[in-house]
């Protein structure tokens, strides 16, 4: 197996490196054990000082790191800069809150002294995706490192240059128990056996396989999988706001985000008004070179991803959906795909049930508010949802009926370092970010003294 960059805008192959040999993996695991034991012996304040240094280094190297992301993932250059900035904020956040969150807590009982402490689990293996090669790696790693764990990261095969750059910055920050693991798929189980826990972000199918391997070897796992987020627009909503937010969420990062709004669920009273406003937003997109400031729709990351999206759209059209935007597919170099809006989508269509990882929005027409909630929940996924209504009390009551990990009212779904992030159903289990993410990879140890 080869880790290989291929510029999504041009199709030109760039940075490559081979997968590790078995001996290289065993050597790294042994080194990580030593480094983690030293790291956990330091105070949490010492570890957090390293996170602050990493935050500063990310900002100092923001431009070249963003360019590396752009060259490998194909996202718009401003989106790549935003990813690096968000990762820097993440480091700063945990450097501030981890000391207090990891302080042992006294819990009154009949004992003279009792409570809990928070110990690291050891070395955590992370199998990471390609779409946010800095943010998603650090979203897992930063709280794990703050708690005293070591982090062994298997990057996606298509982002070796960004991954290697990030590893250099972590090392420069003085954080020793962190390494990129250049593993072939067949080596993942060996790495799981050699580590103490597993984190995975990616597809539901691969996540199920990783979870099975972790379970076989009794290793804690956290899974952040796919999503098919509903955007529910009620009759009393601010329709221009809802259309703008929905389009921003759906087409940002070329639609290649698990947490994007993918299914537009609209009630009859505002259906035509919303669709017209949403189409206007979609028509304004400019597809092209992601380094050009005039471009607002980036290419997809790989040729196989474009083929999958095209097949999903073709299936929807065969089963009665209507492409109401009708943009032609770009020709020439690169992996571009046009913004697409599918109306009259039914359960007969693959896109009704599957996650669509590209700039394709599906429109589901609800009969009423109750039917909108039914449609939102009629999916294997349960990552997030957004709901637009002027009646906040009603919106909160309806939000309670949604089977998702997060609900955003009058705003598109997103993530915030201060709030837990994760899903239910086929979107995975466990949480990242906030104190909940910090506690995923610790041993909550009870102590009791007579």
Query: Annotated catalytic, 224?
Result: yes
Chain position carrying tokens 């800069």 = 81
Residue 202's H or E segment, with its range, is none
CB of 32 closer than 8 Å to CB of 150:
yes
What whole-number distance in Å separates Cα of residue 335 and Cα of residue 337?
7
The angle subtended at Cα 100 by Cα 99 and Cα 104, nearest 5°, is 100
Q: 206: which 2 tokens?
A: 């691969």
Alpha-carbon Rg for the chain, nearest whole angstrom, is: 23
What whole-number distance in Å separates Cα of residue 244 and Cα of residue 246?
5
Dump the DSSP string for 353-377.
HS---SSEEEEEE-SSHHHHHHHHH
Query: Annotated catalytic, 287?
Result: no
DSSP 3-state assignment of 220?
strand
Catalytic residue from among 72, 83, 224, 355: 224
CB of 83 closer than 8 Å to CB of 111:
no
List the beta bridge partners of residue 363. Answer: 264
Q: Which long-range contacts (CB under 8 A, 24 or more apart) does 417-422 make?
A: 417/86, 417/89, 417/90, 417/93, 417/94, 418/93, 421/139, 421/224, 421/259, 422/222, 422/224, 422/383
What whole-number distance in Å separates Cα of residue 267 and Cα of residue 363?
11
Catalytic residue from among 70, 195, 231, 258: 258
User: Catalytic positions, please?
Assistant: 224, 258
């Amino acid at each position: 197996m080869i880790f290989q960059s291929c510029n999504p805008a041009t199709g030109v192959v760039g940075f490559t490196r081979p997968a590790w040999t078995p001996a290289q993996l065993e050597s790294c695991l042994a080194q990580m054990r030593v480094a983690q034991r030293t790291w956990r012996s330091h105070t949490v304040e010492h570890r957090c000082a390293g996170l602050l240094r990493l935050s500063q280094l990310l900002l100092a190297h923001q431009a070249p790191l963003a360019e590396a992301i752009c060259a490998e993932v194909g996202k718009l250059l401003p989106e790549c800069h935003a990813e690096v900035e968000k990762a820097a904020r993440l480091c700063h956040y945990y450097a501030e809150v981890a000391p207090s969150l990891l302080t042992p807590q006294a819990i009154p009982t009949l004992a003279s002294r009792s409570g809990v402490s928070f110990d690291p689990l050891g070395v955590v293996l992370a199998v990471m995706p390609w779409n946010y090669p800095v943010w998603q790696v650090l979203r897992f790693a930063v709280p794990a490192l703050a708690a005293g764990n070591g982090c062994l990261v298997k990057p996606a095969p298509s982002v070796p240059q960004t991954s290697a750059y990030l590893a250099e910055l972590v090392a420069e920050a003085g954080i020793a128990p962190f390494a990129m693991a250049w593993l072939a798929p067949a080596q993942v189980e060996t790495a799981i056996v050699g580590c103490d826990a597993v984190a995975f972000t990616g597809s539901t199918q691969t996540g199920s396989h990783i979870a099975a391997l972790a379970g076989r070897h009794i290793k804690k796992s956290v899974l952040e999988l796919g999503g098919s987020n509903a955007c529910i627009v009620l009759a009393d909503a601010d329709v221009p706001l809802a259309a703008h937010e929905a389009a921003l969420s759906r087409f940002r990062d070329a639609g290649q985000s698990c947490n994007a709004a993918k299914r537009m669920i609209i009630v009859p009273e505002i259906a035509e008004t919303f669709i017209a406003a949403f189409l206007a937003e979609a028509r304004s997109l400019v597809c092209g070179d992601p380094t050009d400031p005039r471009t607002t729709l980036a290419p997809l990351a790989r040729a196989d991803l474009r083929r999958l999206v095209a097949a999903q759209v073709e299936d929807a059209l065969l089963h009665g959906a209507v492409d109401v935007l009708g943009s032609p597919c770009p020709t020439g170099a690169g992996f571009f795909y046009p913004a697409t809006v599918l109306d009259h989508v039914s359960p007969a269509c693959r896109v009704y049930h599957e996650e669509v990882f590209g700039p394709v929005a599906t429109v589901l027409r609800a009969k009423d508010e109750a039917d909108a909630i039914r449609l939102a929940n009629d999916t294997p996924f349960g990552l997030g949802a957004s709901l637009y209504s002027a009646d906040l009390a009603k919106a909160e009551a309806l939000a309670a009926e949604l089977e998702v990990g997060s609900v955003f009212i009058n705003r598109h779904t997103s993530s915030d370092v201060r709030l837990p992030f994760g899903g239910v159903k086929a979107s995975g289990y466990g949480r990242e970010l906030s104190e909940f993410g910090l506690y995923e990879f610790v041993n909550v140890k009870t102590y009791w003294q007579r």
